[in-house]
Amino acid sequence: MTRPAFSAPAASAAAGRGAGATAGPVHIQGTGLIGASIGLGLRSSGVTVTLDDPSPAALAVAEQIGAGRLLGAAGLEGAAAPTLVVVASPPDVAARVVAEQLERFPGAVVTDVASVKAAILHDLCASGADLTRYVGSHPMAGRERTGPAAASADLFVGRPWVIAAAPQTDPGAALRVRELAVDLGAHPTYLDAASHDAAVALVSHVPQILSSLTAARLVDAPAGALDLAGQGLRDMTRIARSDPNLWAAILAANGPAVAAVLRATRADLDRAIVALEAGADPATLGQALLELAGLVGIGRRGAERIPGKHGGAPRVFDTVTVMVPDSPGELGRLFVTMGRLGVNLEDLKLEHGQGQLVGLAEIAVAPGRGASLADQLVREGWRILR
C-alpha cells in the first residue's frame, strides 16, 4: 500500500489566540473536558471544528459553549472532510473509536488523547487499522471536574503533550499532532507507548489512587477530626473528587504499570508500619526514628525533583506567609501591593482554618527575595507569620 503524503498545513486566518499551523476542518469525537477544551482552543484561532459524541447532552453543551458545531449541523453539508480527527474517548473504547474514524475519514490523520497508549496501540494493531495515519497522544492536563461545562481554551497552556507515534506512523502525521499541541499552548514531548504508560503510572495514576484511598479514610471519620483538617489534607485529597468511572477505565487499561509502582509503594508502607510499631518499645525507639526519618527524607528528595514553573529545572523558592483578613478584596489588595513592590508571585497556597477570621497566604517568590518582601509587607501594614 502506498503511504499517503502529509504536508504541513497552511496557517489559518485566525482570530483571538492568533493564527496557528493547524488547518481545519478538525473533527473531535468525544466532547468531555479534554475534547471540548481542544475545540475551544482551536475555535479561538478560527479553525473550523466539528463535534460528535455518543451523549446528546454532552454534545449539546459542547456546542453551546462554542467548542464547535455538530457534525451533521445544517450548513455543513458539502463542507470539506476533516484533515485531523481527535478521538477524546475513554481508554476502554478508544481503540474501537479510532479504528472507526480511520475508516470513516480515509484522508485524515487520527489521534487519540487517552491517558494510556500501549493497550490502544495493541488493539489497533490486532484490528488491522491503517497505522500510518494514527498518532497516539496524551495532553498532560485535566481538572477534578469533568464534562464540557468544565472545559477551557487554556487548559493545555504550558502543559506537556506526549506524542507516542507507532513505528508505522507517517512522520507527517506525527507533525500534524505536534502542530496541534503547539497551537493549543502545550509543550510536545516524544515517548513510545510503553514508556508513556510507565511514566504516567508514576506521576498520575498512582497519585490518583493514593489520594482516593486517603480520602476514603475520611468517610467514617468523626466530625471533630475533620474540623482539624488543614491545607495538607486538602492538597492530598484534591484529585480524589475525580470521576470514579473514568478512573476505573484508565487504571484498568494501565494495570501492569500501575501495579508495579503500587508494589514498590506497598514495600515502603510495610517498612513504615514496622517502624511505627517498633517505636512503641523504648528499646527499639531509636532505630524506628531512623527508619521513619529515612522514609520521609527519601520523599523529600523525590519532591525536590518535580520540575518547576513552566516545566523548568526544580527551584526552591523563598516563602512568606501573610495573614489576610477574611474580607472582600483583601487578597486582591495583597497582590496589588506585591505588584507595586515589583515582586513576582511564583506560587500561592491559601489556607483558611475553620472559624478563623483570617486566611494564611503562603507566597512563593524568587530565592533571596523572601526576607526583604516580608519586611516590605510589614511596613505596608501586613501581618507576617514568622
Q: Is 47 helix (H, G, I), strand (E, B) or coil?
A: coil
The dihedral over CA atoms of 114, 116, 118, 121, expressed in degrees to the nearest 10, equals: -10
Look up cell 467548542; give the residue: 67
Domain ranges of the chain: 26-191, 199-309, 318-385
pLDDT over threshold 80, residue 385: yes
In terms of Cα–Cα distance, which of 182, 183, 199 is closest to 191? 199
Residue 361 carries which DSSP code?
E
Most confident of 12-21, 206-215, 314-323: 206-215
pLDDT band for position 16 (50/70/90)?
Answer: very low
pLDDT over threshold 70, residue 74: no
Tell me the pLDDT of the chain averaged across its residues: 88
Largest CA distance in the chain: 83
Q: Which CATH architecture has domain 199-309?
A: Orthogonal Bundle (1.10)
pLDDT over threshold 50, residue 47: yes
Spatial separation of the C-alpha atoms in residues 383 and 83, rounded to whole Å: 58
189-193, 343-347, 348-352: the lowest-pLDDT one: 348-352
C-alpha cell at 209: 489512587
| pLDDT value of position 7 | 35
- The class level of CATH for 318-385 reads alpha beta
Q: Do 28 and 67 form a contact (C-beta atoms < 8 A)?
A: yes
| pLDDT value of position 11 | 33
5-14, 79-88, 135-144, 264-273: the lowest-pLDDT one: 5-14
Q: What is the CA radius of gyration of the chain?
A: 25
Q: Do 199-309 and 318-385 agree at the fold level?
A: no
pLDDT band for position 10 (50/70/90)?
Answer: very low
The reported pTM is 0.78
pLDDT band for position 12 (50/70/90)?
Answer: very low
Spatial separation of the C-alpha atoms in residues 345 and 335, rounded to whole Å: 8
13-17, 146-150, 214-218, 277-281: the lowest-pLDDT one: 13-17
Per the model's pLDDT, the better-predicted residue between 75 and 237 turns out to be 237
Q: Is 49 helix (H, G, I), strand (E, B) or coil?
A: strand
Per CATH, domain 26-191 is 2.60.40.10? no
pLDDT over threshold 70, residue 77: no
Q: Is 226 helix (H, G, I), strand (E, B) or coil?
A: helix
Spatial separation of the C-alpha atoms in residues 109 and 177, rounded to whole Å: 8
| pLDDT value of position 140 | 94
| pLDDT value of position 308 | 64
E strands in 53-102: 69-70, 84-87
